[in-house]
């Protein structure tokens, strides 16, 4: 006869002794595990961010839309105190995406999140996520983020049609990028993103903070595929671009096509890109050809630049240690 193993649910406190000092830092380092469950490419902005006398667990950004994400963690069952804090953080950071993670979400709190999704505007989304750690017999533990509350996209889109109906051009962008991210996710494991946005660009995580890959319909009938390095006041990111630029002949040779290297001082951004003519108003057959071009070059950029960025970071980290 068949013999089945026993599946055991392990309390989170047996894996992470303390929610604030153990689990939250772990989640910060493994944020894309949550991102995959939500269908987003997430990048951490900061941890323990202050709103008055309170501290938010994690503040992140959805790279595909640049929207702010607030994340509140809670071991055991959800309570009213954390619901109040979650709304305070959402207001304090003007967040568009609100995520509540817990071991067990009470029915009344699930209903409250669903009510918020129904009553808020199309740009605001509330997620309830149950984190489970499971073990089969004496196996290593496995974790799963279970999405138990999420926005009803059909209801959201219906509300949008009756209020701020997107322009036909905006809908073309949304449709274009929806097909693009679906193919990148399903065929190439390039992203965890699942929802296209009515905008003329889409960013993807590189795995290195402030460095992104992206696709863009720019002004003047140009289409770009790029590596974007956000510098701002981060001197390390400026050094990374300089180190890459010093190797641009070798990088260009490995890439196999001319690359455009540029800095945007106003936006504190450095960009390495490849471009071509194109516009979202082109016929579907030509847009499909542009989409194939975007996908091909996103994959090629990641193949060429991932090891170069990793090498540059290792060199910088090594030199910083030597200075200490």
pLDDT for the residue numbered 35: 92
Reported as a single tens digit per residue, the pLDDT across 116-173 is: 998 887 788 999 999 999 999 888 899 999 999 998 764 454 445 444 455 588 889 9
Q: What is the mean pLDDT of residues 297-310?
A: 96
Residues 83/98, Cβ–Cβ less than 8 Å: no
pLDDT for the residue numbered 158: 44
Greatest Cα pair distance in the chain = 70
Whether residues 188 and 316 share a domain: the answer is yes
Reported as a single tens digit per residue, the pLDDT across 34-84 is: 999 998 999 999 998 888 888 999 999 999 888 999 999 999 899 999 999
Establish if 228 belongs to a structural domain: yes
Instruction: Using alpha carbons, select from 63, 62, 116, 128 the residue that is nearest to residue 91.
Output: 116
Reported as a single tens digit per residue, the pLDDT across 243-253 is: 999 999 999 99
Whether residues 29 and 50 share a domain: the answer is yes
Whether residues 197 and 302 share a domain: the answer is yes
Q: Residue 252 sits in which domain range? A: 166-323
Establish if 2 belongs to a structural domain: no
Establish if 116 belongs to a structural domain: yes
Whether residues 116 and 250 share a domain: the answer is no
114-46-78-95 Cα dihedral, nearest 10 degrees:
-20
Whether residues 198 and 275 share a domain: the answer is yes
Reported as a single tens digit per residue, the pLDDT across 83-100 is: 999 999 999 999 999 999
Whether residues 214 and 66 share a domain: the answer is no
Establish if 112 belongs to a structural domain: yes
Whether residues 92 and 30 share a domain: the answer is yes
Kindly tell me the sign of the dihedral angle through the C-alpha atoms of 58, 61, 62, 63.
negative
Whether residues 232 and 269 share a domain: the answer is yes
Whether residues 266 and 242 share a domain: the answer is yes
The predicted model scores a pTM of 0.77
Give the CATH number of the domain where residue 238 resides.
Answer: 3.30.1460
Give the CATH number of the domain where residue 127 resides.
Answer: 3.40.1350.10
Reported as a single tens digit per residue, the pLDDT across 234-293 is: 566 678 888 999 999 999 999 999 999 998 766 677 899 999 999 999 999 999 999 999
Q: What is the mean pLDDT of residues 25-31?
A: 94
| Residue 274: φ, ψ to 5° | -125, 140
């Amino acid at each position: 006869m068949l013999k089945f193993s026993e599946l055991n649910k392990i309390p989170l406190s047996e894996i992470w002794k303390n929610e604030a000092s153990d689990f939250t830092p772990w989640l910060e380092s493994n944020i894309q595990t949550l991102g995959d469950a939500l269908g987003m490419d997430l990048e951490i902005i900061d941890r323990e961010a202050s709103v008055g006398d309170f501290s938010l667990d994690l503040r992140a950004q959805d790279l595909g839309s640049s929207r702010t994400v607030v994340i509140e963690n809670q071991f055991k069952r959800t309570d009213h105190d954390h619901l109040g804090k979650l709304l305070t953080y959402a207001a304090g950071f003007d967040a568009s995406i609100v995520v509540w993670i817990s071991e067990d979400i009470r029915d009344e709190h699930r209903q409250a999140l669903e009510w918020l999704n129904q009553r808020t505007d199309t740009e605001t989304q509330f997620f309830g996520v149950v984190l489970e750690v499971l073990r089969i017999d004496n196996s290593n533990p496995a974790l799963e983020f279970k999405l138990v509350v999420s926005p009803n996209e059909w209801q959201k889109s219906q509300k949008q049609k009756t209020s701020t109906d997107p322009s036909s051009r905006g809908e073309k962008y949304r449709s274009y990028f929806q097909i693009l991210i679906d193919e990148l996710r399903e065929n190439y494991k390039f992203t965890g993103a699942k929802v296209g946005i009515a905008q003329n660009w889409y960013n993807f995580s590189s795995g290195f903070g402030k460095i992104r890959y992206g696709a863009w319909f720019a002004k003047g009938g140009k289409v770009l595929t790029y590596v974007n390095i956000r510098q701002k006041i981060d001197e390390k990111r400026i050094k990374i671009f300089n180190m890459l630029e010093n190797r641009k002949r070798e990088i260009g040779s490995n890439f196999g096509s001319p690359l455009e290297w540029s800095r945007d001082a106003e936006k504190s951004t450095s960009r390495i890109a490849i471009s071509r003519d194109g516009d979202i108003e082109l016929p579907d057959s030509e847009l499909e050809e542009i989409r194939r071009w975007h996908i091909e070059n996103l994959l090629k950029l990641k193949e060429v630049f991932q090891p170069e960025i990793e090498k540059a970071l290792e060199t910088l980290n090594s030199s910083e240690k030597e200075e200490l």
